[in-house]
Amino acid sequence: MMEARLDAAVTLPGEDFSRVALTAAAVELLNKLWLQHGPLMFHQSGGCCDGSSPMCYPAGEFITGDSDILLGLFDLSDGPERQPLEFWMSREQFNYWSHTHLTVDVVPGRGSGFSVEAPEGKRFLIRSTLMDWPV
């Protein structure tokens, strides 16, 4: 049985499919973290150590630029006051992962101290699957 997931709104020009999703467990944790920290964002860099894990920050705390790609927007709102949660990836990492669909999940453990979920005793991770269409 496939777990329910929330697909991101498409953000890449010329595409009509979502490249990133959240599991139900990720949505639940993000809603809890949103209440504690306010609006949130993800950035996936692909660096060493915890760099392969998606990092969750208060929105705007991680500055993005031309070296980053906005892969998707998640609507976690349970009311009109919430802005979309952005999922960013470094352009260099996207070159490696352009053929995959990414799903953000949650597992027990402690990831990087920079990501807001670290004190919760949980960490976000990426589960990837190969896309079955040419990109």
34 φ, ψ to 5°?
Answer: -60, -40
What is the rounded CA–CA span in Å between residue 91 and residue 125? 19
What is the rounded CA–CA span in Å between residue 100 and residue 90? 15
What confidence tens digit (pLDDT) does each residue in 44-101 have? 976 655 556 899 999 999 999 999 999 999 998 765 567 899 999 999 999 998 999 9
82: CB partners within 8 A, 6+ apart: 34, 39, 75, 76
CATH architecture of 5-130: Sandwich (2.60)
What confidence tens digit (pLDDT) does each residue in 30-52 have? 999 999 999 999 999 766 555 56
What is the rounded CA–CA span in Å between residue 71 and residue 91? 10
